[in-house]
Amino acid sequence: MICKITKKKLIPFMSFGKMPIANGFLRKKQFKSEFFFNLEVGFSKSISLFQLNEHPKPKQMFNNNYPFFTGSSKGMIQHFKKYSQWVKKNYGKKIKHLIEIGSNDGTFLSNFDNKKINVMGFEPSKNVAQISRKKGIKTINKFFNFNNAKKFKKLKNNIDVITAANAICHVPNLISLIKGINFLLKQRGVFIFEEPYLGSMYLKGSYDQIYDEHIFIFSLSSINKIFNLFNFELIDGIPQKTHGGSMRYVIARKGIFKKSKRVNRLLLNEKLKNIDNYKGCLKFKKKCENSKKKLISMLKKYKKNKLKIAGYAATSKSTTILNYCNINTKYLDYICDTTKEKIGKYSPGMHIPVVSMDHFKNNPPDKSFLFAWNHKKEIFIKEREFTKKKRWFAHIKI
Ligand code: DWN
């Protein structure tokens, strides 16, 4: 097992067991041919990088029927509006060209006036890219990597800002991605991206952030060390509330911009909290094992008391919890979700039926597992009555 960046030995420290494709919602006839891999995590000491050991090929995950759309959450639509305003305010004074890596349905890019700025998205899933194109956004239906970046010769060293959100941790060949950025970015350009934050995952014990698509869970320490290897530097880090705790990273070519004081403060905090070293991994492993025990005993108690239980939101994250804890239809009657591409299918691995929100309204359970705990603010408002009766639960404190 080797680190995807340094090619040095990785220290494997925990397996979540046999795992299907997190967004591989399937029909009954596909059960027999379902793909599984071993979801094991390891740590690369020299660059403090938390990563998967084994993972499916990117095309197995980001295919022509990818069922996740950024616009499925009102909260995220608002967040991306604010993110775009922040980019414009801080780095957008003379901005001419902007690229987003993993632009999904165009939720972020639609905040830019494409008459004033040339915006372009890279989105590998065809069905999702089509939605973005319908919004009038130039969208390249390809993975962002060195080979594909090189095809845009006219844009060489011409891009002012490259952005991403919840996309960079999905890219196993980070080296090729960084080379692509190096090819396109201006001398004074910046690369800004947001990702689920390792420190928040450790604190909450939210191991459900780990699944096939999330090849890496980044920290400031790892990002700082990775980009240093390629003549770039981390110039800012801004904590975000999204996805249960994320980090916005700002990267520039070495020696061009002044580093913010905040970066050093946050890096020191990571040292103090063992976010940059192997000790943190072992502590996290204990947290996961305890959470699993607690969750199973709670579910058994609910069932003993003849309570009807359902899942709320068929998230990618739910695939890890359900398969790691072996939670099937013995416990959950169904999982409700708003995505038409998931409704009528079954959850990956555990094969729990995915139903519409109407089903949830017409057949309310006694207890509901909130799989989209990261969107609790908007869901608690939407499901006011259910919330009043204190019927939610999760594998972490919500
Ligand atoms: O990085 C990723 C993040 C950003 O999005 C991807 N790898 C895939 C995806 O992860 P996720 O599925 O865990 O994302 P969410 O945003 O936590 O959950 C989305 C799912 O939840 C969708 O299926 C829609 C559903 N949902 C719902 O049914 N009712 C979401 C909300 C807000 C709701 O009210």
177-212 confidence digits (pLDDT tens): 999 999 999 999 999 999 999 999 999 999 999 999
Are β-strands 36-44 and 49-52 bridged in parallel, bridged antiparallel, or unpaired?
antiparallel
Q: How far is the CA of 34 from the centre of ligand 1 (A)?
A: 22
Contact 32, 301 (CB under 8 A): no
Strand partners, 140: 122
CATH topology of domain 306-393: Rossmann fold (3.40.50)
Cα separation, 161 vs 95, in Å, equals: 7
Indicate which residue's Cα is closest to atom 7 of ligand 1. Answer: 213
Percent of the residues in the chain that have a pLDDT greater than 90, as a whole number? 98
Cβ of residue 79 lying under 6 Å from some atom of ligand 1: no
Place of tokens 């305890």: 290
pLDDT at 268: 98
Other Cβ atoms within 10 Å of 180 Cβ, number: 24
Cα separation, 17 vs 36, in Å, equals: 10
CA 378, distance to chain mean position in Å, is 19
Indicate which residue's Cα is closest to atom 4 of ligand 1. Answer: 166
Place of tokens 């950024």: 70
Q: How far is the CA of 360 from the centre of ligand 1 (A)?
A: 17
Contact 107, 76 (CB under 8 A): yes
User: What are the structural domain ranges in the chain?
Assistant: 306-393
Q: How far is the CA of 223 from the centre of ligand 1 (A)?
A: 25
Cβ of residue 372 lying under 6 Å from some atom of ligand 1: yes
Sequence-distant (6+) residues with CB within 8 A of 103 are 109, 121, 122, 123, 129, 132, 137, 139
Residue 69 burial by Cβ neighbours in a 10 Å radius (0-12, 13-18, 19+): buried
Indicate which residue's Cα is closest to atom 25 of ligand 1. Answer: 313
Cβ of residue 47 lying under 6 Å from some atom of ligand 1: no
Mean pLDDT value of segment 333-350 = 98
Indicate which residue's Cα is closest to atom 5 of ligand 1. Answer: 68
Where would I find the H helices in the chain? 58-61, 74-91, 126-134, 146-150, 174-184, 198-204, 220-228, 261-272, 278-304, 316-324, 357-362, 376-382, 384-388
Identify which of 316, 345, 368 to mutate to test ligand 1's pocket (most ligand atoms within 8 A of the CB). 316
Q: How far is the CA of 107 from the centre of ligand 1 (A)?
A: 14
pLDDT at 139: 98
Contact 132, 119 (CB under 8 A): no
pLDDT at 16: 98
Cβ of residue 379 lying under 6 Å from some atom of ligand 1: yes
Contact 44, 223 (CB under 8 A): no
Q: Which two tokens stand for residue 255?
A: 């020696």
Q: How far is the CA of 68 from the centre of ligand 1 (A)?
A: 7
Q: Largest Cα–Cα distance in the chain?
A: 66
Amino acid at 253: R
CA nearest neighbour of 211 among 243, 185, 258, 233: 243
Q: Quick one: which atom of ligand 1 is closest to the CA of 342?
A: 23
Contact 214, 19 (CB under 8 A): no
Q: What is the mean pLDDT of the chain?
A: 97
- 212-239 confidence digits (pLDDT tens): 999 999 999 999 999 999 999 999 999 9
Strand partners, 44: 49
pLDDT for residue 94 is more than 90? no
Q: Which two tokens stand for residue 299?
A: 């579910």
Cβ of residue 339 lying under 6 Å from some atom of ligand 1: yes
Q: Quick one: which atom of ligand 1 is closest to the CA of 338?
A: 28
Cα separation, 218 vs 213, in Å, equals: 13
- 321-340 confidence digits (pLDDT tens): 999 999 999 999 999 999 99
Cβ of residue 166 lying under 6 Å from some atom of ligand 1: yes
Strand partners, 99: 120, 162
The pTM of the whole model exceeds 0.95: yes
- 66-85 confidence digits (pLDDT tens): 999 999 999 999 999 999 99
Indicate which residue's Cα is closest to atom 3 of ligand 1. Answer: 166
Sign of CA dihedral 58, 62, 64, 65: positive
- 109-160 confidence digits (pLDDT tens): 999 998 999 999 999 999 999 999 999 999 999 999 999 999 999 999 999 9
pLDDT at 93: 80
Contact 330, 342 (CB under 8 A): no
- 363-392 confidence digits (pLDDT tens): 999 999 999 999 999 999 999 999 999 899
Cβ of residue 72 lying under 6 Å from some atom of ligand 1: yes
Cβ of residue 378 lying under 6 Å from some atom of ligand 1: yes
Mean pLDDT value of segment 19-44 = 98
Cβ of residue 222 lying under 6 Å from some atom of ligand 1: no
pLDDT at 92: 84
Cβ of residue 164 lying under 6 Å from some atom of ligand 1: no
